[in-house]
Structure 1
């Protein structure tokens, strides 16, 4: 009887609670939910997963309630008050350590995340306790997207899917609800950034020992491929030929693919093998203009990067707005490191102004102060705005601005004394300072990419990472030597790469630096060929390459097998014209026209700039390679035409033309792929390596877990210029 009365009283209390919360489901109903909810519950996050700005310590103002840049997940506090210790949906206790993530709404009321997600999914968008209408709602799971259900919070969609998939996988391996963020998330920054995590020496030793068995005089992964092409195969003995052009073509070894261990199981497997570990510092804009979708897309892109870094790679993240702060030191991307990196990235909120110089200086300090070094080092810089704290030349001729004065001396590679760490800069949207970011990348030996379309940011990062994770050659120097005693070097056209010639012009040097797997370089060298009645065949040049293997750390000396020669017949006859030389001449001609047009546009002469590009297009159309339907020539013409259209008026040039031209110049001068605009065809038609292309494909495949769900690059929406408070 007593048991019956107790049961009756409990049932009465339950009915009252149910009536008071009539918009909610009974606990039992949660178990019979849709497949989408089941999949979400199955991948339930542990209490250690922290995705709210309130959890971070990035140096920015921390709100007590979720902002549009967060997913709304909060780590339950150890000292929660009793009034907040019970989930009013399931009436169960919310205790840390039980493997349940907690959602705290902007009205400050908290619930089990899986409970409130189910409630919101069924149409309820108000707080079950205070009836406040929510602006930010818990996101729907990836399975809902695949079944065509609309996402309820468009602002926060970038914070889940791929990012959440990684978080679930990492947190499943160590479900410890009492686990807190590392102390360095909250500690003040040290004066010296020498607290980087020890590199994986065991990996390094193992790789070296295994490779030493196969090291040869050429290269453990294969030798650099070197080819030389004279512009014509023969010059008559009685004739001279000034500015005779020779093409030097290099192709890096194939290398082997590497699996970070964090790849999506639905994607094709990637073979595991050795590669050079990377130290990567990302310097990310978190100013007020990055709010909403921009910041969400940045978090998604960073999630992709973190997922594809291996346990021997190290990552550090710098966030900047009015000030800059290091979110965490260089840490290896083990399971724990990845999880903490994802937590830190997703803690970002957007506010304040744009101090690019401060962010970059702090990123460079991470590189210069580190105790340990991985073989490959790089900095990624992304911003959507102009540095309003250090640049006073807005509205003036950007080509004459003293941007280099803002950059740390340690990244200058022009005199050979710099850090030799390239900065790959990404200008995001229509309002960024492309001239500044191009200057940064050019000075450091990196690349500048223009991310015009919102949906391309992850692909742009993927392409860059695909290169950094496939470095097979470092510190490459090419030596060109004249063989015939009467020959002397004229010019060496190598784009942005430093060149030098010996006093007697018999030797020339090109400092190339790093090469990605299967990456190619083309350099044009000119010599003057004199009259020579004494020989039937004239030796011209020989090429030698000096570089360092990034894995074995050994120096490699590779010499081309054959000396380049040309025939010297008595009379003019049939001779072979090199199409390869003509193609590279066209590429250089187009790059020179782009630079000239850009200079004219910065002077305000847009009509003159368009005319320069039109003249170049006409000249290209009359070349031999164009008449034979050469694909490179066709692509160059399309690129020049696109630039003409983006110089049609001042507004278009300011919003996208300048950035598009500078990204093109960066790509051609370094002969390395950059992202440009929103068209796949003009992104990197001849410089993208197979590994970079593969990484972009993986990025596109992982979008919403379905390749067909993602808009194509051509259909991607472009930014429009709009004023932003700074």
Structure 2
């Protein structure tokens, strides 16, 4: 009997489920041995899943959490259960005190809000006796139907309205009980992070499925980028030159073979390192929401994807090595996240150094890799300028040299940064993303952190093109390129200006890019009615087959050279992209003015740009992008209305928009005040699908949550005709 009970407790320790605490009812925190105030262990995991140093729960004694570096604590207390105490939050259950009580079919009772948070992630086993439930409580998005009033949740999540819904029983995941999870936290970190889980250990079923069911995984099908070109006007009079003539190059990545972005047989697997801020300012609701968001990430990675979790405060620590997200890997990753406790300072440089080391030292590599960095504060361990002064220029010191763009090592590891709340260093987070080739998202509303993560991984889990290089070569012998406008993408031009290139890198499925190339059109030939301007070529790698694909004749731009051209209409596609670039330039100039203390000048720049846009042909035609640009500029004007507004949200809002502009990629700005519903971001279908999953929580019905507001300057484009 003792052996069976021991095995049951071991399994219980591994079968953890993310638990969202009710922060308004927390007991007063107690100081840890090092003098730092620590949160209750029940904020991290339910009491039934707490581990002792040996990996087994103990119900004989309760001990204080063990301190470790980077503000991490591993709870040791055992299971507490009685008819008067909730086994999840360990607080008293008394009828009539404003909290519903749920009694399961096994006769154990819990606070309703505690157990619904527990079962929301698929756990349908009693935390006390491990009995499998046939009927479980689940939170329905409806309001209190009896009174017509929404229920109030301490964490202020509108979707957490509670009443009973019966769900089908979901089979419990198979757990490898032979691996002690405590070893992930208390063993010394190795000199080299070469202990990543081998990709050769994938089950044969996954390998066979990828090779048999997916035609993309063989060489029978090649995914081709769609390339379209648009001259500024279709004709130029033969006897007249035309300076600063624009040609638009429009690219669209191929789609995935499956509607499910996490389908393992239609996409390239990912190595993802999450670098999470657990400093003292993350205590309470912020940390609970972070754990919830990480739970979503873990559950939506596939068995071929690998995840590493790094937490940082005053120092950084690798909680979880790079491991495949099998059933066992997911359980261990969730347990690692649940053990996060907030305290200490903010050492972003150390955290990025450790995150980079994981990807540099790994023995095997998935085709796609990336780092996600979330922080709500400013780096307190690297020299920085005081808040409100001119931005410093040494942000590169926060990022390891090996993953800076254009570094000699040739590594491409983008860092997608997420600034959380009003106190984070937006300039630092934006610079880190720009230097590495990632994006910067501003999470203004705490409740959308999960949606912001969902949008990011929705893209990372759908990479269909890598190492894309676009080459533009002049065809006419007297033609020279003047400029290549490509945002933050690296461009180059030959000394004779006859050829140029754009290093685009990775593209998500169905992602689009627009680049404007300008040139000076010479006088036409006396006897020719047409002129070939430029030839566009594309070279890229398929991340699944590893084949290099060369589109030698992706597109050629030709214009007419009549004797009399007559009245010509400017291409709507070219005019639209000119407006986008003009707006981005105005935003950048306004930001510089604001940083120099000239908020009135910044607002004036934005107002002037809005007036100019309204006079363009695409704006007068009611183009959706122009409407979106105008609304975004107006929003920025309001956030630059005074110094306090700019410091709290304006700077981050502008930088997130600039990040989206420069990379032409969706970035999140979690502001639910967006009333212009026609504004949509550069979200790809895979991103939209993942955000929808996040907002519906997969198991439940859609809920009235605050919505994710992405960079407003990127609506879904009208398809060229």
TM-score above 0.5: yes
- How do 1:492-531 residues align onto structure 2 when only pairs under 5 Å count? 492-531=484-523
Structure 1 residue 140: Cα displacement:
3.3
Q: Counterparts of 1:95-134 in structure 2 under 5 Å?
A: 110-111=80-81, 116-117=86-87, 120=93, 122=95
CA deviation string 1:115-166 (max 9, x = no partner)? 835973746899xxxxxxxxx99813252533868999836999x99xxx9x
Distance 1:125 1:673, change over 3 A: closer
Q: Which residue is equivalent to 2:560?
A: 567
What is the CA-CA distance between 1:620 and the residue it aligns to?
Answer: 0.2
**Change beyond 3 A, Cα 1:436–1:115:** same
What does residue 239 of structure 2 align with?
238
Which residue matches 1:309?
A: 301
Aligned residue runs from structure 1 range 245-264, under 5 A: 245-257=246-258, 259=260
- Superposition deviation, residue 571 in structure 1: 1.5
* 1:687 is aligned to 2:682: yes
CA RMSD of aligned residues (A): 3.7
Moved more, 653-662 or 110-119: 110-119
Q: Give, in whole Å, the separation in 2 of the partners of 1:186 and 1:115.
A: 31
Q: Of the candidates 647, 651, 660, which is equivalent to residue 654 of structure 1? A: 647
Please report how far the alpha carbon of residue 510 of structure 1 lies from its aligned counterpart in structure 2 after TM superposition: 0.2
Q: State yes or no: 1:325 paired with 2:317.
A: yes
Question: Which residues of structure 1 form unaligned runs of 5+?
Answer: 1-44, 54-58, 86-103, 127-135, 262-270, 715-726
Q: State how far apart, in whole Å, the 1-side matches of 2:621 and 2:50 are.
A: 64
Distance 1:581 1:314 in 2: 41
Q: For residue 175 of structure 1, report the CA deviation from its aligned partner.
A: 6.5
Deviation at 1:411, TM superposition (A): 1.4
Q: How far does the alpha carbon of each residue in 1:310-367 deviate from its partner, in whole angstroms, 9 at most, with x for none?
A: 0000000100011110001100000000000000001101111111111111111111
The 2-side partners of 1:457 and 1:253 are apart by: 29
What's 2:691 paired with? 696
Match of 2:273 in 1: 281
Deviation of residue 504 (structure 1)? 1.3
Alignment-derived partner of residue 174 in structure 2: 174
- Alignment partner, residue 225 of structure 1: 226
Please give the TM-score of this superposition, normalised by the length of structure 1.
Answer: 0.78
What does residue range 535-554 of structure 1 map to in structure 2 within 5 Å? Answer: 535-554=528-547
1:501 and 1:80 map into 2 onto residues whose CA distance is: 65
Seen in structure 2, the aligned counterparts of structure 1 residues 248 and 223 have a Cα distance that, compared at 3 Å, is: same
> 1:24-63 to 2 correspondence within 5 Å?
46-50=12-16
Separation in 2 of the partners of 1:258 and 1:562?
A: 29
Distance 1:355 1:536, change over 3 A: same
For residues 617-650 of structure 1, give each alpha carbon's deviation from its aligned partner in whole angstroms, at most 9, with x where no partner exists.
0000010111110110000000000000000000
Cα distance in structure 1, aligned partners of 2:94 and 2:699: 18
Counterpart residue number, 2:614: 621
2:352 match: 360
Query: Per-residue deviation at 1:171?
Result: 8.7
Q: 1:663 aligns with which of 647, 656, 667?
A: 656
The CA distance in 2 between the partners of 1:81 and 1:336, in whole Å, is 23
- Greater C-alpha radius of gyration: 1
- Find the residue that maps to 2:591 and give its secondary structure: helix
* Higher alpha-carbon deviation: 592-601 or 562-571: 562-571
Within 5 Å, give how 1:707-718 maps onto structure 2. Answer: 707-712=702-707
Deviations 1:540-575 (A, max 9, x none): 111110000000011110134552110000113243
Partner of 2:219: 215
Match of 1:21 in 2: none
Distance 1:615 1:690 in 2: 34
Match of 1:350 among 342, 347, 354: 342
**More deviation, 397-406/458-467:** 397-406
Deviation string for 1:397-424 (max 9, x for gaps)?
Answer: 4444311122210111134644211000
SS in 2 for 1:274: coil
Residues 1:288 and 1:621: Cα distance change in structure 2 (over 3 Å): same
Distance (whole Å) between structure 1 residues aligned to residue 440 and residue 229 of structure 2 = 30
Asked whether the equivalents of residues 73 and 113 of structure 1 are also in contact (C-alpha less than 8 Å), the reply is: no
Give the gaps of 5 or more residues in structure 2: 1-10, 20-33, 63-74, 100-110, 118-136, 145-149, 710-721
User: CA, structure 1 residues 561+578, in 2 after alignment: closer, same or farther (shift >3 Å)?
Assistant: same
1:574/1:591 CA distance change after superposition, 3 Å: same
Q: Is the 8 A contact 2:14 2:335 kept in 1?
A: no
What secondary structure does 1:238 align onto?
A: coil
Which shows bigger deviation, 519-528 or 206-215?
Answer: 206-215
Q: Which residue in 2 is equivalent to 1:29?
A: none
Q: How far apart are 1:687 and its partner, in Å?
A: 1.3
Q: Hey, which of these two has a bigger chunk of helix by percent? A: 1
Shift of 1:530: 0.6
The equivalent residue for 2:116 is 141
Contact kept? 2:459, 2:687, Cα under 8 Å: yes
- Which range is displaced more, 241-250 or 678-687? 678-687
Query: In structure 2, do the counterparts of structure 1 residues 171 and 562 end up closer, same or farther at CA, with 3 Å as the change threshold?
Result: closer
The residue number in structure 2 matching 1:395 is 387
Mapped partners of 2:482, 2:80: distance in 1: 74
Q: 2:628, 2:679 within 8 Å by CA — same for their partners in 1?
A: no
1:268 maps to none
State the 1:274 CA deviation.
1.8
Match of 1:292 in 2: 284
Return the match for 2:435 from 435, 443, 450: 443
- CA drift at 1:509: 0.5
Matched, 1:432 2:424: yes
Aligned to 2:154: 154
The separation in 2 between residues aligned to 1:699 and 1:520, in whole angstroms, is: 24
Distance 1:82 1:192, change over 3 A: closer
Alignment: residue pair count:
622
Aligned-pair CA distance for 1:495? 0.2
SS state of the match for residue 12, structure 2?
Answer: coil
* Cross-structure match for 1:471: 463
Contact 1:478/1:510 (<8 A) preserved: yes
SS in 1 for 2:333: helix
Cα deviation digits, residues 5-62 of structure 1 (max 9, x gap): xxxxxxxxxxxxxxxxxxxxxxxxxxxxxxxxxxxxxxxx934334799xxxxx9989
More moved, 117-126 vs 399-408: 117-126
Q: 2:332 aligns with which of 325, 340, 363?
A: 340
